[in-house]
């Protein structure tokens, strides 16, 4: 147990105020996820994109009374009844506290590191060992300098085993994580290219990662990774190696569809339910640990054969009756429940929220204590409706609101629950694997076209933070969510941006803004193309029009008839698309002086060639002209409006013209619009479909409409479920377009049809039902666009709205 009074000695901090000593129960680092559970402490972290100190007063108003801060702030003395500790680094303080907490537990702890596979190995070990141990583990991939201490803090007296992964990106990080995890057993997964840029060499990276095992009893690794083997052997630690070479401790041989495992004169054929090399390697790390834990090889075979793929993320899907479904049907533990309910709480597209939850298995807690903890989490998130499934929840229904409903089993729910009750809700479906909650998701999910656009919300946040790093802290951000958020789904993206506190949203038309308002988006919204018939809607939904001509301005002033309104003024500085010209400024100023009911929120213009260096001189001239004209207009206004000029390529290439705000568009979605290709952005969208049918076509046959495809020799043709009605252009016809199937490129054969396309899978190990990538992380949208001489903007925005969007976020 750690009390607030213990913190100064643990963190080398100074107590600024101490009202009442409390036992520390809950560590909070994100003000948006605050919880005033008794014993909660908020750690204010000043980072490159956010400063937690700015939200201390908000948390105080929510009931938080314990704070660890890195600097004193104005008004701190007015926060009565608080415990406040001043430290040099809040992250280092959390690490020190977690390290002290870990030292209280004398249990086996497995520390896992490596370039890839850490999270999968950890989750598979959890599946394999949870029948025998009460396990604490990182939720999701919480393996960073902050994620690891928050994970280790979960250790409780009833736990019998810890499974913690650790990731680093530069030297001197692993020593800190080693002190927190204090692993008794180590697993080194592999060594790849991830974070190479942070180290002098791969060898240095291997040595740094190996520091996690400084005090471990034994280290498990694959001997076939020669650099890891070199570092391991030189460490003089006790090792347990596996590999396909004869000098490994555990020797692996491929035996048809089986793997022959040989260890200490014992042999067993093991079935691994995966064929890709990464999954096989991850599985064999798990086998090695089970051997170390003295499991019988036959029992290991039985357990490995039951492993299933792990969707390491939450998925936000369109449901029936205007509902949205948060699909988290892999597992259910208290740490994962906390993350999932936080994700639910931060979705504001629907006002009504419901949780469908299974029993939590193998928690280690007495039943009644476990249910009380579950009920506390549910109550904290202010859920409107709760559905409990399983004998445990049903038995202890008294701890939940009277509006809750309970079912003994998943089958009972599927049979008896009236889904017509679900109307315009957002529903978290979270269940332990044995409950097979994917059946519930299938029932509640709107039946979707097999082609889907998968949107990675974590990549959106990464890209947002990257662009924030390119601008001054004082510069505001307007994010463009026009054109269905560049094809990515407006309301879901806008909700995420609202959560991350961007300053403005931009849309093309009033109807787009209205849709956002209907989905509880309260951020200021600029409408770029207002029309006279939309003026009433603008006012009714608190939307702010862009005014770019005298015609639209006079019409709007006549409509307002003296009522107050906020507008944005567009100046033409060289794009020659929309905007007031230099010769219009005096007349514009006269109108603004005359109509004091108008507030000008911003003045802006648009760069014509920000993406190419050859236009930099012209861009500079545009910037100088804009600044001069904007100052002229501002001179007659009561308050200076925000100035903004830069779009995504401008933010990347022309930071000197930031002014007061920037407009982030295509860059948020992972597309680098510059010729330099900075390479720091993560692709957000993956368009995928599936193979409907495979046929063998004899030589000499024709394929598709107009007989445009020809089999010069025998071919295997796969028909995939996407066509030009989905946004897969006819320009991809006749070999110009390619798709990715099982890691291999397949060319389009013949003409693209309305709903289907034929591709050549000759020589590709492809089966009906296999996934097909149109573009995404593995197949760049830039490459796809180049094939038909267009730009990524067009590819993204052309993807039809009949292609359902699935939003994914790390979360289990």
Q: Exposure pattern of 306-332 as b/e (b: 16+ CB <10 Å)?
A: ebeebeebbbbbbbeeebbbbbbbbbb
Per-residue H/E/C for 72-103: CCCCHHHCCCCEEEECCCHHHHHHHHHHHHHC
CB atoms near residue 688 (< 10 Å): 21
Cα 762 from Cα 314, distance rounded (Å): 36
Ranges in the chain annotated CATH 3.90.190.20: 316-445
Please, where in the chain does CATH 2.40.37.10 lie?
685-809
Predicted confidence (pLDDT) at residue 771 exceeds the cutoff of 60: yes
Query: Please, where in the chain does CATH 3.40.1190.10 lie?
Result: 105-304
Determine the topology of domain 454-669 in CATH.
Answer: TIM Barrel (3.20.20)
Tell me the average pLDDT across 234-239.
Answer: 94
- Give the pLDDT band (50/70/90) at residue 483: low
Give the chain's length: 812
Tell me what pLDDT residue 388 has: 97
Cα distance between residue 735 and residue 757, in whole Å: 11
The beta-carbon contacts of 550-553 under 8 Å, at least 24 apart in sequence, are 550/580, 550/584, 550/587, 550/588, 550/591, 553/588, 553/591
The C-alpha atoms of residue 531 and residue 61 are separated, in whole angstroms, by 43
CA angle, 277 then 278 then 282, to 5°: 115
Give every CB contact of residue 654 below 8 A, 6+ residues apart in sequence: 607, 610, 616, 619, 623, 646
State the DSSP code for 362.
S
pLDDT at position 566: 98
Q: 212: which DSSP letter?
A: G
List the structure tokens of 608. Answer: 């014509």
Quick check: helix, strand or coil at residue 790? coil
β strands within 256-372, DSSP E: 258-263, 266-270, 314-318, 324-328, 352-358
How far is residue 588 from each of residues 527, 570, 584, 631, 633, measured CA to CA in Å?
A: 20, 11, 6, 13, 8
CB 445 within 8 A of CB 317: yes
The model's pTM: 0.77
**Rounded Cα distance, 36 and 65, in Å:** 8
Q: Which whole number is the average pLDDT over 745-774?
A: 95
Tokens 């009972």 sit on residue: 412
Least confident of 106-110, 306-310, 585-589: 306-310
Whether residue 399 lies in the annotated active site: no
Q: How confident is the model at residue 706, as a pLDDT?
A: 92
Digit-coded pLDDT (tens) for 62-78: 899 999 999 988 888 88
Q: What angle do CA 31, 35, 39 make, to 5 degrees?
A: 115
| Binding-site residue ranges for substrate | 577, 754
Architecture of the domain whose range is 316-445: Alpha-Beta Complex (3.90)
Q: Which residues, at least 6 apart from 232, have a Cβ–Cβ distance to it below 8 Å?
A: 188, 210, 219, 221, 239, 241
Phi first, then psi: give them for residue 303, nearest 5 degrees.
-75, -40
pLDDT of residue 486: 63
Domain topology for 4-95: 3.40.1390
pLDDT band, very low/low/confident/very high, at 491 (cuts 50, 70, 90): confident
**Residues 595-634 pLDDT 10s:** 999 999 999 999 999 999 999 999 999 999 999 999 999 9
Residues 439-458: tens digit of each pLDDT? 999 899 876 667 999 999 98
Across 51-60, 189-198, 507-516, least confident range = 189-198
How would residue 278 be classed by pLDDT, with cut points 50, 70 and 90?
A: confident
Cβ proximity of 728 and 790 under 8 Å: no
Reported as a pLDDT band with limits 50, 70 and 90, residue 802 is: confident
Would you say the C-alpha torsion 581, 586, 590, 596 has a positive or negative sign? positive
Residue 487 has pLDDT above 70, yes or no: no
- Comparing C-alpha atoms, which of 704, 701, 687, 711 is closest to residue 761? 711
What is the structure's pLDDT at 226?
Answer: 94
Active-site hit among 158, 421, 594, 705: 705
Per-residue confidence (pLDDT) for residue 804, from 0 to 100: 84
What is the Cα–Cα distance from 382 to 354, expressed in whole angstroms? Answer: 10
Give the span between the Cα atoms of 583 and 634, in whole angstroms: 16
544: nearest Cα among 560, 528, 526, 562: 526
Sign of CA dihedral 781, 783, 787, 790: positive
Mean pLDDT value across residues 24-33: 86
> Which DSSP symbol is given to 641?
P
Core vs surface per residue 263-276: b (16+ CB within 10 A) or e: beeeebebebeeee
Percent of the chain exceeding pLDDT 70 equals 97
Residue where the block lists tokens 């000759």: 762
Residue predicted with more confidence, 178 or 278: 178
Q: Pick from 90-104, 133-147, 302-316, 678-692 the range whose average pLDDT is largest.
A: 90-104
For 579, other C-beta atoms within 10 Å of its C-beta total 21
For 514-534, what is the mean pLDDT?
93
CATH among 3.40.50.720, 3.40.50.920, 1.20.1440.130, 2.40.37.10 for 685-809: 2.40.37.10
Q: How confident is the model at residue 329 (pLDDT cuts 50, 70, 90)?
A: confident
Indicate the SS3 state at residue 700.
coil
DSSP per-residue letters across 242-253: EESSTTSSEEEE
Q: What is the mean pLDDT of residues 318-343?
A: 86
pLDDT higher than threshold 70 for residue 23: yes
Longest dimension (CA), the chain: 95
Helices (H) then strands (E): counts for the chain: 26, 38
Q: In the prediction, which pLDDT does 234 show?
A: 94
Which pLDDT score, from 0 to 100, does residue 485 have?
62
> Does 173 have pLDDT greater than 60?
yes
Q: Please report which confidence band the pLDDT of residue 35 belongs to, taking 50, 70 and 90 as the band edges.
A: low
* Separation between Cα atoms, residue 592 and residue 411, nearest integer Å: 66
CA 182/CA 199 separation, integer angstroms = 24
pLDDT band at 812 (very low <50, low <70, confident <90, very high): very low
The whole-chain average pLDDT of the chain stands at 92
CATH 3.40.1390.10 occupies which residues in the chain? 4-95
Tokens 């109108």 belong to which residue?
591
Tokens 């925005």, residue? 797
Q: Is 476 a catalytic residue?
A: no
For residues 404 and 388, give the distance between their C-alpha atoms in angstroms, rounded to a whole number.
Answer: 8
Average pLDDT over residues 103-132: 94
Residue 312 has pLDDT above 60, yes or no: no
Q: Which of 118, 137, 211, 482 is catalytic?
A: 482
Binding residues: 577, 754
Distances in whole angstroms, Cα of residue 390 to Cα of each of 244, 721, 765: 44, 38, 42
Give the pLDDT score at 783: 93
Q: What is the structure's pLDDT at 488?
A: 63
pLDDT at 75: 83
Pairing of strands 258-263, 266-270: antiparallel
Output the pLDDT for position 677: 67
Which CATH superfamily, name and number, covers 105-304? Mur-like, catalytic domain (3.40.1190.10)
Whether pLDDT at 348 is above 90: no
Q: Quote the tokens at residue 564.
A: 């107050």
d(CA 189, CA 747): 36
pLDDT of 295 higher than 90: yes
């Amino acid at each position: 147990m750690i009390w607030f009074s213990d913190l100064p000695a643990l963190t080398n901090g100074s107590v600024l105020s101490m009202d009442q000593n409390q036992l520390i129960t809950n560590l909070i680092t994100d003000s948006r996820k605050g919880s005033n559970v008794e014993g909660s402490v908020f750690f204010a972290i000043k980072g490159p994109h956010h400063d937690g100190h700015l939200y201390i007063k908000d948390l105080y108003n929510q009931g938080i009374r314990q704070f660890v801060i890195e600097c004193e702030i104005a008004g701190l003395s007015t926060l009565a009844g608080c415990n406040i500790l001043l430290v040099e680094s809040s992250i280092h303080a959390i690490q020190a506290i977690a390290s002290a907490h870990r030292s209280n537990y004398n249990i086996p702890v497995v520390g896992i590191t490596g370039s890839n596979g850490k999270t999968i190995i950890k989750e598979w070990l959890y599946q394999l060992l949870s029948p025998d141990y009460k396990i604490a583990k990182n939720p999701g991939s919480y393996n960073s300098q902050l994620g690891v201490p928050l994970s280790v803090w979960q250790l409780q007296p009833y736990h019998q085993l810890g499974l913690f992964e650790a990731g680093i990106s530069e030297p001197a990080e692993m020593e800190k994580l080693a002190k927190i995890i204090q692993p008794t057993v180590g697993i080194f997964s592999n060594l790849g290219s991830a974070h190479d840029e942070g180290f002098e060499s791969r060898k240095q990276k291997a040595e740094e990662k190996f520091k996690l095992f400084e005090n471990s009893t034994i280290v498990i690794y694959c001997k076939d990774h020669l650099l890891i083997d070199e570092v391991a052997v030189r460490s003089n630690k006790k090792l347990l190696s596996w590999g396909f070479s004869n000098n490994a401790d555990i020797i692996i041989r491929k035996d048809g569809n089986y793997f022959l495992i040989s260890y200490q004169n014992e042999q067993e054929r093991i079935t691994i339910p995966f064929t890709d090399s990464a999954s096989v390697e991850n599985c064999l790390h798990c086998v090695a640990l089970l051997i170390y834990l003295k499991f019988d090889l036959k029992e290991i075979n039985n357990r490995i054969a039951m492993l299933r793929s792990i969707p390491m993320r939450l998925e936000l899907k369109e449901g029936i009756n205007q509902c949205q479904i948060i699909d988290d049907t892999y597992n259910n533990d208290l740490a994962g429940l906390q993350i999932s309910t936080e994700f639910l709480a931060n979705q504001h597209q629907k006002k009504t929220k419901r949780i469908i939850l299974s029993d939590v298995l193998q928690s280690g807690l007495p039943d009644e204590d476990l249910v009380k903890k579950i009920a506390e989490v549910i109550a904290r998130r202010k859920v409107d409706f709760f559905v409990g499934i399983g004998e445990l929840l049903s038995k202890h229904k008294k701890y939940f609101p009277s509006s809750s409903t309970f079912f003994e089993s998943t089958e009972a729910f599927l049979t008896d629950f009236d889904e017509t009750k679900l109307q315009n809700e957002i529903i978290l479906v979270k269940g332990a694997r044995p409950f097979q909650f994917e059946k519930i998701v299938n029932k509640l999910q709107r039946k979707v076209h097999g082609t889907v656009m998968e949107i990675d919300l974590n990549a959106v946040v990464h890209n947002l933070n990257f662009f924030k790093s390119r601008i001054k802290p004082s510069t505001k951000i307007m994010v463009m969510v026009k054109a269905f958020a560049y094809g990515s789904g407006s309301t879901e993206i806008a909700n995420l941006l609202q959560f991350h506190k961007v300053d403005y949203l931009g849309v093309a038309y009033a109807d787009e803004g209205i849709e956002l308002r209907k989905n509880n988006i309260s951020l200021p919204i600029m409408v770029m193309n207002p029309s006279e018939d939309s003026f009433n809607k603008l006012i009714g939904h608190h939307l702010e029009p862009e005014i770019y001509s005298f015609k639209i301005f006079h019409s709007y002033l006549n409509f307002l008839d003296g009522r107050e309104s906020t507008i944005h003024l567009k100046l033409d500085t060289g794009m020659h698309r929309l905007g007031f010209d230099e010769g219009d400024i005096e007349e514009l100023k006269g109108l603004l002086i005359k109509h004091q009911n108008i507030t000008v929120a911003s003045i802006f213009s648009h760069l014509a060639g920000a993406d190419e260096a050859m236009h930099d001189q012209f861009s500079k001239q545009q910037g100088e002209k804009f600044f001069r004209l904007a100052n002229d207009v501002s001179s007659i206004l009561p308050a200076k409006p925000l100035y903004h000029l830069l779009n995504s390529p401008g933010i990347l290439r022309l930071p000197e013209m930031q002014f007061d705000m920037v407009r982030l568009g295509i860059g948020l979605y992972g597309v680098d619009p510059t010729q330099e290709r900075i390479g720091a952005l993560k692709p957000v969208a993956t368009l995928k479909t599936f193979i409907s049918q495979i046929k063998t076509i004899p030589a000499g046959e024709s394929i598709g409409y107009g007989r445009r495809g020809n089999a010069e020799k025998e071919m295997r043709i796969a028909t995939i479920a996407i066509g030009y009605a989905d946004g897969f252009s006819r320009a991809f016809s006749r070999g110009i377009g390619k798709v990715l199937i099982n890691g291999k490129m397949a060319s389009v054969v013949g003409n693209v049809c309305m709903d289907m396309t034929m591709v050549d899978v000759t020589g590709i190990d492809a089966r009906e039902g296999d996934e097909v990538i149109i573009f995404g992380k593995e197949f760049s949208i830039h490459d796809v666009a180049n094939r038909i001489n267009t730009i990524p903007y067009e590819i993204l925005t052309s993807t039809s709205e009949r292609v359902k969007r699935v939003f994914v976020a790390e979360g289990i």
